[in-house]
């Protein structure tokens, strides 16, 4: 969890916000607490969606559908306000890692855990389908592992089977490559059998640690799902037989969720869970997270603070397949004796705090905001240009005339695509010009070349990435930047794709200024065979308090990512 930024809300509806859990193409997810003490996950949509009446109508229908899903093994919707200036929805908070995070950290799950996992998810899908709904995005990151059993989350793209409205828009696919059923990929629509296919892929991932359809690009994944048989590794016995049945190309040949549940747990999933279903390492992790949650409340977050502007921008609509963002990632160890506590609102800016103070810097905004944006300042970290929140076309256009750099970020049809050369940051002079555009970005050699990396770049940065011009979600990017000189190893960039696969790039510093860092990159020798090992160039550009990552690797779809400081 990350602390709240200065331009983020502290109160949404009746909920006090304690920190930010994640961000995605549809909005941000916060940890919240009701007046009665209940902990919730509050999902707030990006404000530019609030200007779209068609989106509001879809959001209203999806919230109504999600409210109906109240069975076991799902995170129930507790509250929502689709009519708010910025729509939001609150669901029960689950203390536990996602399946993708658990497998990435600890490898495949034990057979008993996989059986309980599959039985719980099967019962959840049974309840969903009985309501005439189809989830359409069952994948490891949408499954949480709690002490009380697995939870299926994020019904953000669920759809009533009898409805005609779709959450798709031009250039946006619904579902996740490697877990979408063949009929979804071929545009034949999604049914309950499509969810069963995804369930089979999730079970294979949990049991083997890899997707049954591995690949180094989304195009390869989609092709394999449609044309090739799944790779089930060391799965054996009835688990392998069940996964094969769920992954049948013909929807009619797949079992129903009810049949899957009875196959795995004839006496019900609850009996398997009651006996202790998680391995000891995960039990310890979840328990530690629960203690941190209590410490967070005990430490207290200032009450009575008015909610600030909701500082979102217009990211790629396709990022995350229209989801609200990643599931909460539980920290592995407490931060300090009282657990993680967000910075006080009146704390001095990070750049003015002496390094010896030990204060943990806030990660900054994940993206340029409709309410507040940033342009590079003298120190390279950026100066903030604040604007009042005005969710209206007239207000938005007024801001654009004053701060032209916003024009690039606020284009509704742009889908977050960066058309400037290698994602260069706008020059500071562009913010004072009424005629400048995003194309007025500085050249690659702008600024005074430095021999070592400025302190403003140092630390660990992480964020969600996209490829193919922002139309395709590309997993999570993470890098730790050290204080090195030109020609020295800068760090290792780790990409974790939506399937949990990891590829590492070794970065070597080529050039650095206060406003731009250029590095050569090559695949690490420890990479899997599916990773791209070819040399390419990476740029990191300060944008406000974040770094924008851009790669010129056409083999990887020229990925970009918005990275926030996390350590």
**Rounded Cα–Cα distance for residues 340 and 266 (Å):** 42
How far is Cα 563 from Cα 25, in angstroms, rounded to an integer?
Answer: 15
Indicate the annotated binding residues for ATP. Answer: 43
Tell me how far apart the alpha carbons of residues 98 and 14 are, in angstroms, rounded to a whole number. 27
144: nearest Cα among 194, 67, 230, 202? 202
Contact indicator for 563, 461 with CB cutoff of 8 Å:
yes
C-alpha span between 253 and 521 (Å, rounded): 46
Contact present, 32 and 4 (Cβ < 8 Å): no
Structure tokens at 119: 């039985």
Cβ atoms 330, 286 nearer than 8 A: yes
d(CA 211, CA 213): 5
For the chain, percent helix, then strand, then coil, each to nearest 5?
A: 30, 20, 45
Distance of alpha carbon 522 from alpha carbon 515, whole angstroms: 23
Distance CA 373, CA 492 (A): 29
358 alpha-carbon distance from chain centroid: 28
Six-digit token string for 564? 């926030």
Q: How many residues does the chain have?
A: 567
58 backbone φψ class: left, alpha, beta (φ>0; ψ -120 to 50): alpha
Question: How far is it, in rounded angstroms, from Cα 312 to Cα 51?
Answer: 13
d(CA 562, CA 546): 7
Helices marked H in 90-236 — which ranges?
Answer: 99-106, 111-130, 182-185, 192-208, 218-227
Torsion sign across C-alpha atoms 550, 556, 558, 560 = negative
Report which of 301, 45, 15 is spatially closest to residue 167, judged by C-alpha positions.
Answer: 45
Of 6, 137, 505, 546, which residue is the catalytic one? Answer: 137
Four-point Cα dihedral 243, 248, 253, 256, nearest 10:
40
Q: Is 137 a catalytic residue?
A: yes
Residues 6+ apart with CB under 8 A from 164: none
Catalytic residues: 137
């Amino acid at each position: 969890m990350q602390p709240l930024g200065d331009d983020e809300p502290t109160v949404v509806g009746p909920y006090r916000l304690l920190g930010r859990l994640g961000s995605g193409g549809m909005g941000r997810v916060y940890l919240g607490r009701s007046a009665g003490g209940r902990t919730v996950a509050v999902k707030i949509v990006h404000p530019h969606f609030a200007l779209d009446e068609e989106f509001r109508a879809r959001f209203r229908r999806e919230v109504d559908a999600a409210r109906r899903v109240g069975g076991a093994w799902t995170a129930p919707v507790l509250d929502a306000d689709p009519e708010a200036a910025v729509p939001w929805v609150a669901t029960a908070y689950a203390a536990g890692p996602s399946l993708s995070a658990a497998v990435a950290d600890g490898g495949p799950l034990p057979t008993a855990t996989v059986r309980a996992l599959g039985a719980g998810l099967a019962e959840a899908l049974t309840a969903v389908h009985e309501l005439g709904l189809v989830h359409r995005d069952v994948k490891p990151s949408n499954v949480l592992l709690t002490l009380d059993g697995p939870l299926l989350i994020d019904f953000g793209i669920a759809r009533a089977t009898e409805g005609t409205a779709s959450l798709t828009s031009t250039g946006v696919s619904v579902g996740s490559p490697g877990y979408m059923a063949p009929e979804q990929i071929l545009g034949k629509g999604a049914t309950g059998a499509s969810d069963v296919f995804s369930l089979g892929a999730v079970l294979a991932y949990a049991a083997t640690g890899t997707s049954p359809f591995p690949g180094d690009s989304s195009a390869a994944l989609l092709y394999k799902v449609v044309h090739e048989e799944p790779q089930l590794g060391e799965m054996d016995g009835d688990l392998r037989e069940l996964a094969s049945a769920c992954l049948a190309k013909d929807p009619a040949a797949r079992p129903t969720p009810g049949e899957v549940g009875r196959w795995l747990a004839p006496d019900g999933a609850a009996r398997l869970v009651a006996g202790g279903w998680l391995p000891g390492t995960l039990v310890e992790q979840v328990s530690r997270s629960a203690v941190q949650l209590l410490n967070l409340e005990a430490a207290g977050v200032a009450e009575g603070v008015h909610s600030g502007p909701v500082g979102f921008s217009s990211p790629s609509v396709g990022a995350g397949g229209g989801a609200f963002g990643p599931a909460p990632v539980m920290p592995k160890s407490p931060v300090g004796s009282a657990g993680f506590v967000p910075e006080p609102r009146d704390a001095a800016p990070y750049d003015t705090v002496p390094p010896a103070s030990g204060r943990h810097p806030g990660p900054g905004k994940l993206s340029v905001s409709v309410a507040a944006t940033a342009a590079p300042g003298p120190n390279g970290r950026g100066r903030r240009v604040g604007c009042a929140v005005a969710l209206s076309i007239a207000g938005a256009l007024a801001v654009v005339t004053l701060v032209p750099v916003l024009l690039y970020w606020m284009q509704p049809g742009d889908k977050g695509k960066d058309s400037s050369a290698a994602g260069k940051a706008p020059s500071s002079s562009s913010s004072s010009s009424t005629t400048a555009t995003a194309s007025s970005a500085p050249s690659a050699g702008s600024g005074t070349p430095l021999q070592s990396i400025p302190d403003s770049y140092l630390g660990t940065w992480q964020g969600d990435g996209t490829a193919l011009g922002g139309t395709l979600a590309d997993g999570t990017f993470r890098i730790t930047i050290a204080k090195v000189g030109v020609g020295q190893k800068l760090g290792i960039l780790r990409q974790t794709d939506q399937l949990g696969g990891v590829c590492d790039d070794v970065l070597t510093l080529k050039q650095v200024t206060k406003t731009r860092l250029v590095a050569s990159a090559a695949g690490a020798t420890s990479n899997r065979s599916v990773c791209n090992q070819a040399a390419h160039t990476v740029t990191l550009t300060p944008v406000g308090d974040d770094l924008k990552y851009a790669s010129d690797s056409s083999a990887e779809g020229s990925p970009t990512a918005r990275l926030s400081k996390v350590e």
